[in-house]
Structure formats: structure tokens, C-alpha cells
Amino acid sequence: MTTGVVDKQLAAKHEDGASPEAVVVRFAGDSGDGMQLTGGQFTLSTALAGNDLATFPDFPAEIRAPQGTLFGVSAFQINFGSASIDTAGDAPDVLVAMNPAALKTNVPSLKPGGLIIADSGEFTKRNLEKAKYDVNPLEDGSLSKWQLLAFDISALTLESVKPFGLGNKEALRCKNMWTLGLALWMFDRDREPLIAWLKDKFAKNPVLADANIAALNAGHAYGETAEIGGQVKKLHLDPVESAPGLYRTVTGAEAVSLGLVAGAQLAGLPMFFGGYPITPASAILHNLAKLKEFGVTTFQAEDEIAAICSAIGASYAGQLGVTSSSGPGIALKGEAMGLAIMTELPLVIVNSQRGGPSTGLPTKTEQSDLYQAVYGRNGDAPMPVVAARSPADSFECAIEACRIAVQYMTPVMLLTDGYIANAAEPWQVPDPTDFTPFPVTFLAEKNGDDRVLPYKRDAQGVRPWIKAGTPGLMHRIGGIEKAIDTGDLDYAPGTHQAQTDARKDKVDGVAKGIPAQEVTLGEAGGKLAVVGWGSTYGPIHQAVGRARAKGLDVSQIHVRHIWPLPENLGDLLKGYDKVLVPEMNTGQFKTVLRDQYLVDAKPLNKVSGQPFTIAEIEAAIAGELA
Amino acid sequence: MNDMSPITTTIKDWESDQEVRWCPGCGDYAILKAVQRTLPEIGADPAKTVFVSGIGCSSRFPYYLASYGFHTIHGRAPAVATGIKLANPELDVWLVTGDGDGMSIGGNHTMHLLRRNLNCQIMLFNNEIYGLTKGQYSPTSRLGTNSPTTPGGSVDRPALPCAFALGSGARFVARGFDVSKNLPDVLKAAHAHKGAAFIEIFQNCIVYNKDVFEDFAAPKGAEARQLWLKNGEPMLFNKNTQGIALDQDNLTLKVVDVVDGDWQAAGVIVHDVTNRSLAHMLVELPFGDFPMALGVIYDDPRPTYEESVIAQNAKLAAGKEANLAKLLAKGQTWTVEG
């Protein structure tokens, strides 16, 4: 989906017969207006229409922030088109604003000439005051650089659902379906899948289903009957050219969950998942809780520490232990990660990063846990780290994390972030048989002359996995330093030196089993390499593609294996005059690269809780090559 | 406990090859012996037995037993044990913790393990002091305890482990002390209980809190200061000359004299291990006015956590096919033709 670079971020022209190749639409409203649901359903409809897409759900930390407030605005942006899409789009072409606060917070990013669809029924004196507007912006000409289409969606919705006898509050809740109906008309979409979905969702309350369907149809008809005065024309975006096969949409949280299930199957193990609710990681626990038939046990622990410790206990008893959290929770798990490193038990730790430190920005994205992942524990505590670059990529990365964990008897951290976790993209459904299994063999007999040697290492420096309960192999393990081979309690100076070295060598050795770093886009060597990791993949890919289309000598290198790094990465980077590292933190991967390779990596940083725009990276590339 | 056929072992089979590293005279030696004596008697299998501990003097315990053992991190043994038990319910899990490990840093986990009723034995060695960190006062230290961190004496009131356990929903609560000859019987009862079995074991830290339990544990006069509870038997002590009765005016317990062995006339209560209200009163009995209540205070099993989880998992999985390819292709999909 995300290979090949096409610069097709063209603005919608809104003229008959001139369909753009990509359009960015942002739905914005009160956090109670159902914008995420509207966006999600529009996404599905887009996918079913065969367009490529990327989404960016952006919502406040409050569940139901006070109505009409600026901080209570929830938005959902989707970029879709008939060409390859890597990001949710820099600036929207269309903004749907359900109230004054939604308009105020979102209109500055709308493209000049873009279209505003506003529910004038919500632009009341009180709502205008809450949004800190002195004058109604729909009437004072302040929106003149955009096209404005304001009509009373609230009243139209109430009218359309009148026959169903709903209360005013319930009736108004159908507003999002009315709006969605209009959007489906604008982009020439089939309403049937949505109608089927509504019938299913409200199966227990057919009146609500009918009311929502009526609102959806009314919104659609409103566009169809050209009541909107000829300002907006129907747009049809052709399907993207994709490899043949079966597709679905997937969010990062879904892909991680599926990847973990696949990873456990490939290892031939039941999975134990210990988690504690935290935004934006909880969805993984929710997803896995529904998959018991795959040998998954989920455990909602009393806290983050219990979540990881229970997973360690399960690994000790022979299951694949997995835990998941976000930054603050990962910090709490730190000591237990050390225990898994020290006892050398397999464990997968998923970190859906969010803005930090402390509580930080619970619902906003950031990549600022890289130091925590690579270095964040007491003692010399090396641990492999894998980072997913997109929602779909999270599937393979989760499998990779499972593989490293069981093959090297080590905890592994899988990094995603709030953007990847929540965002959706089309995904070509993989065939599970395409993945090479990595079945686990537990020690079954004594591996020493007359006793079991739980810390006897193989050629890769890996100890055997001994399932507690195996007859004849009783032994004791713990977080305290231990003797070579026997694992007996021993903290003599020479022992600690030898075991620290052994743990480091083992984790360093993971690099031998991973693919060499490839140039993601461009050439090996040249004037500038843009090196990234994680969810900056999309904007970097598009920006480098655009710069190359302009003839600039720039290449993209996107790294999946953050620790240990691919063995060839240092040499590869030395082939470029300059190295630029865009990150949603203050320069963490940059520091690692400088430390590992003495390369003059230059940071490009953004920590606003929003992903990079393509333009920001493009400008930085142009700056470096000026 | 768990449902497996008993096997034959001797004390020797349970002794690991590791040198025991507690201070000479430490109460832990006696507890270790009591456990090593108990395990053959209950027919335990070293391969199916796991001792899980946290951090502290008591938590070195697993190294000295020839079973499986996991010396984890401070306070977290209950969480590790929960993972072990959910992954393999056949394993017979014993937790070893202390007053600092289990009541302070790990209090949260102790509470939730008891609330969930994980099928395991929790031995909390209570010496009312931090030993391994050299003598600071602990959450069970008595008011006024002088220690390096409380040079003027501690001012915070101690926690009562058995009251904490009951309050957390424990279905088995017992008490013993390190050198007591009755300790193996208490351990056996705990093992026989299906579910979380909480045992507070008073343990003498001879270096930092020497003889703090002498007031009731000293052999001389013990009969007047120890109330050994037995299910179905009257609560008598001091050579059956005194007993525990209900003070009906105040709804509390009281000490009564028993004349000529006629405990019924004195109103002495017959111990009922399934009486939760009685258990609450027994664990709160202030020592001094009353003897120390020891033995099995409460024992009334409920379904265990792991059996409920496993049964529910099986129910949810029933009739569903674990087909990964189908799972991946779930939801609304579309096909791109070649």
C-alpha cells in the first residue's frame, strides 16, 4: 500500500468533471457529537469505494468535555484518493464544523479556497460566546478566503426524524448521520453498507436504526436535490491502483492485536496478556479479550506493575507473556522489565506512545519514549526494540517482537504511538502461511552432567526455556545476580562482569538475525539521508518523494529495528553528506545515531501532539540542500 | 492446594544444594524446617511445586527448597504468581513474603490476590521490622518503635495483616509463629484449602527486633497467652481455665473464667471457621487483654480465580474456530481484481 511515491495531494476543484486525485476532509464537532464514529464510517465507505486512505482521529482527553467549549472539540481527518496515500494530509480541503468551537479551532488549517460546511443552527449566541466569538463568523465575512456553506443541519435533522417520535436530545444525536449522508453524496458513495451497519448497531432498537437511516438519507437527498445552491458538486474519485487481493481497513491497535495472535501461533504457544487500562493502549486489551479461541488469556491487572509481572509469571510457566501500555505505564513497568532481562524470560511489551512526560497528552501522539525503550531501566539492561511505521506495519512488527522474544529469551519492546494506534488504513489481508514459523522447544531433560543448568548458553548466548512444572528440572531463578550455567545465587565481581557481558552480547547478537537496513526511497549514498522511525514514515516518504521529483539528491531511510540497530546502518549513513532525523520528540533517535556511529545527525523536531506535515519535512529538506 | 495424586518424598528431597544465608538464630530457619517437614506429609511433588517470593530476608526462601522457585522483585510476588497459576493451574504455588514486602510495597498486590482468590498459599513472615535494609520500622511495627528512620519512635499505627486479609476478601486466614510446633498443622490446613490461603507467621528477627513476640511466644506461660483455635472446639486457653465468650452488651469478645471445666456454663464460644463475623473479631483481639489468637481463624472456600477464568475462557471459545486467516479477513473487506 505504501510503496511508491506519488505527489497527488491536489486540492479539490469542485467543478464538474474535474475530479482531484486526493481529498482531505476533516469532521469537527463537540466531543459528544459522534465525530469519531462519523469519521470511522466515512473511512469504511472510502475503503469500500476502493480509494487509498489514511486517517487522523484527534480527540480531547475528556470523555464528554463541557458542550460547545474550545477544548471539547473532537476531530477526525481523512485523506483519500485514487493514488497512494501515506499521511492523513497536511491541510483539509473540506471542513465540516458542527459548532462555533469546531470552526474556530479547525478553520486555520483549512486550505485557502477550501470548503466549510457549518451547522448554522449551532451558531447561537451562547455557543458563540463559548467559542469566544464576538460576532457570528458565518455572517461577518471573516471566512471569505474559503467557500462557506452554512445551513441549519440541526433543524434539517429534526425534520427528517420527526416521524419516529424521538425526544429532542435523541433526535439531535442523528445529526452526525445527516452530515455523513451529505458527505456520501459529495463523494458519490454507496449508502447501503452504512445502512446495513446501522441496522446491525441498533438491532435492539429498530426505531433508532430507522431514525438514523432517515437522517442519513435526508442528508444525502439534500445534496442530491441541489438545495445547497450549486456551490458543491458531486466528486468521484477513482479507485487506487492496488495489488490484486483481499483488503480491509485496520488501525494500529487492531494490527498489533492480530500480530500478537499470529506471533503466538508461529511460536506454537498460548498467549498470556496482562494489561491495565491506559489511553491509547487499552484497545489492544479489548481486542484480545475477545479472542479466547486462539488460546489467549487476558488479565486486567490491578496496576501496570502487576500487568507485566503476571506476564513474566506466565512466561516462566511456558506461555508467551505479553503486556502493553503507554509512556507512564511503561515507566511503572521498568523494574519488572529488568527482572525479565535478568532472569532471561521471553516477554513482549507494547508501548503505544503518547505525549509526555508524566500524564502529558493522553490522547495525542508523540515518539518521546525512545530513550525509555532503549535505555530506561536501572543497571545495564539491554533490550531489543522494534518500531512500527504505520497501522498495517504493526502486524509484522508484532510478529517480529514475538520472534525475537522467544528466540533470544528476552523482553522486547514494540513501539507504536497514539497516531498509529488510532489511525486506520487499507490493509491487504496477509496469508498467515507466508510467515515462517519459529516454534519454541522447551528443555525436556537435564542439560548438565547430573543437574539442570538453567543458564547454560548456546552459541547465540541464549539460555534454555524451562517450563516450571517439568519433571526433574527443578531450579530457582531470580532478579539477583547468578553464577554462570547453574544460575545459583552469586555476586562475585567476576560473575557480574561475565553475566553483564553475556546479556549484552546476546542482545547485540539479535542484529545478526535481522535484515540489513535498506534505503526506503532513493539511493545508497548522496547529499542527504532523511532517517526516521515509527509513524513519521508517511510524511517523510511523501516529502522525500516530492523533493526527489524536483531533482533534489535526498533519500529516505526508515528504521524498524531500533535496538539493536541493523549491522550495516553505520556504513550506510556514512555514505551521505548530511543526515536529517525528523522525530516527534526533542531528538532522541538522533542521539542514538550520533552515539553509535559518530555521525553528524541533525534533528528536526516537533512535539505539538500533531504528526508532521509533509510540507514541514519538505521545507527542512530544501533547507539542508540549499 | 491442587488436585493431584500425592507422591512420596522425604525432607531431604526438599532441601536444595544452596547454603542457607540467614543470620544464625533467625526465625526463618524454623519456618524453612516446618515447610520442609510439611511438604512430604501433604504428598507434594517438587516438580509441580513453585515457591514465589518478593524481596527481603524472607524472600530468599525459594533458593533453599529443591522445587521450582522464583525470587522476583519487591512486593510483586502475588502478580507473578497470578501469571504462573493462570498459565498452569496444575502448579502448586506458595508465596513467601514479609511485612514490608507484602504489606507495604506490595500491599496492593496482596489485596488483589486475596480478592480474586487465586489458589495458592501466602506465607507472610511478620517480624515487624525491615531486616535486609538494616532495621527500619515496618508497617506492622508497634507504635513507638525506635529505628534508624524513627529515632523518636514511630508515630504511625501498625497494620494488622490478618485483618487486612479478611478485609480484602480472603477465604482462609491463619496465624502461627516460627518456632511453634503447631506450624506444620497450620501449613497443612492452608494447603488443604482450595483458594488463597493467607498465613501470618510471626518471625523473630534476632538482629533488629529481637524477641518482639516473646510476650506470647515464650514457652514459659504460653498457655495463658496463646489461644489455639480448632474448628468445632470451644475457645479455651490457660489449661482450659479460661475461654472466649461473646459480650452481648457490647457485641465484642470477652475473656471468661471456666470453673470445673464447665465451658458451656461460662458461655465459651465454639470455634466455627466458616463464621466470618467471628473471624473479624478474632483477628482484631488486642493482645494483652486477650491471648494471641493462633491457628486457623477462618476457612470457608469459594470458587478460585483461575478455575473461573479458565472455565469462562473455555465457554467463550466454545464452538469458535481458531482460524487465523479468517480472523485477519474479518470485518468489511473488499477485493481488488487482478
Contact, B279 vs B171, CB < 8 A?
no
CA–CA gap between residue B235 and residue B253 (Å, rounded): 11
**Strands A561-563 and B252-257, sheet pairing:** unpaired
CA–CA gap between residue A285 and residue A290 (Å, rounded): 9
Segment B234-271, tens digit of pLDDT = 999 999 999 999 999 999 999 999 999 999 999 999 99
Contact, A338 vs A331, CB < 8 A?
no
CA–CA gap between residue B253 and residue B233 (Å, rounded): 16
Exposure string for B253-288, b = 16+ CB within 10 A, e = fewer: bebbebeeeebeebbbbebebebeebbbbbbebeee
DSSP 8-state code for residue B229: E
Mean pLDDT of A407-429: 95
**Closest approach of chain A CAs to the CA of B104, in angstroms?**
15
Mean pLDDT of A454-473: 98
Laid out side by side, the sheet with B252-257 consists of: B236-237, B242-247, B252-257
Contact, A184 vs A41, CB < 8 A?
no
Task: Judge: A247–B334 Cβ closer than 8 Å, yes or no.
Answer: yes
> What are residue B268's DSSP bridge partners?
B245
Task: Judge: A306–B108 Cβ closer than 8 Å, yes or no.
Answer: yes
Question: What are A541's three cell numbers?
Answer: 516518504
Selected residues 318-337 of chain B with any CB under 8 Å from a CB in chain A: 320-322, 324-325, 327-337
CB A25: neighbour CB atoms within 10 A? 25
- Best to test chain B binding among A250, A476, A489, A490 (most B CBs inside 10 Å): A476
- Residue A472, judged by CB atoms within 10 A of its CB (0-12, 13-18, 19+), counts as exposed
Listed range (A367-371, B83-87, B161-165, B333-337) with the worst mean pLDDT: B333-337
End-to-end CA distance of chain B: 61
pLDDT at A403 over 70: yes
Mean pLDDT of A434-442: 97
Three-state secondary structure call for residue A602: strand
pLDDT at A558: 98
pLDDT at A446 over 80: yes
Contact, B130 vs B140, CB < 8 A?
no
Mean pLDDT of B89-98: 98
pLDDT at A18: 52
CB A43: neighbour CB atoms within 10 A? 24
Selected residues 285-314 of chain A with any CB under 8 Å from a CB in chain B: 291-295, 297, 299, 301-303, 305-307, 309-314
CB B146: neighbour CB atoms within 10 A? 13
Amino acid identity of A528? L
Average pLDDT, chain B: 96
Segment B299-316, tens digit of pLDDT = 999 999 999 999 999 999
Task: Judge: A306–B84 Cβ closer than 8 Å, yes or no.
Answer: no
**Closest approach of chain A CAs to the CA of B312, in angstroms?**
9
pLDDT at A225: 82
Q: At what angle do helices B183-192 and B27-41 cross, to 10 degrees?
A: 50
Amino acid identity of A347? L
**Which residues does chain B have within 8 Å of residue A316's beta carbon, measured at their own beta carbons?**
70, 80, 83-84, 87
CB B74: neighbour CB atoms within 10 A? 17
pLDDT at A304: 98
Q: Which residue is closest to B51 within chain A, CA to CA?
A: A476
pLDDT at B68 over 50: yes
Contact, A579 vs A573, CB < 8 A?
yes
Segment A172-230, tens digit of pLDDT = 999 999 999 999 999 999 999 899 999 999 999 999 999 999 999 999 999 888 666 55
For cell 486555520, what's the residue? A108
**Which residues does chain B have within 8 Å of residue A335's beta carbon, measured at their own beta carbons?**
73-74
Contact, A302 vs B64, CB < 8 A?
no
pLDDT at B211: 95
Segment A46-64, tens digit of pLDDT = 988 889 999 999 888 887 7
Question: What are A77's three cell numbers?
Answer: 481527518
Segment B16-67, tens digit of pLDDT = 999 999 999 999 999 999 999 999 999 999 999 999 999 999 999 999 999 9
Average pLDDT, chain A: 93
pLDDT at B193 over 50: yes
pLDDT at A229: 56
pLDDT at A235 over 90: no
Three-state secondary structure call for residue B280: helix
Selected residues 247-266 of chain A with any CB under 8 Å from a CB in chain B: 247-249, 258, 261-262, 265
CA–CA gap between residue A227 and residue A221 (Å, rounded): 9
Contact, A101 vs A130, CB < 8 A?
yes
CA–CA gap between residue B138 and residue A179 (Å, rounded): 62
pLDDT at A16: 43
Listed range (A40-54, A326-340, B94-108, B124-138) with the worst mean pLDDT: A40-54
pLDDT at B1 over 60: no
**Closest approach of chain A CAs to the CA of B248, in angstroms?**
40
pLDDT at A226: 63
CA–CA gap between residue B139 and residue B154 (Å, rounded): 10
Question: What are B48's three cell numbers?
Answer: 509441580
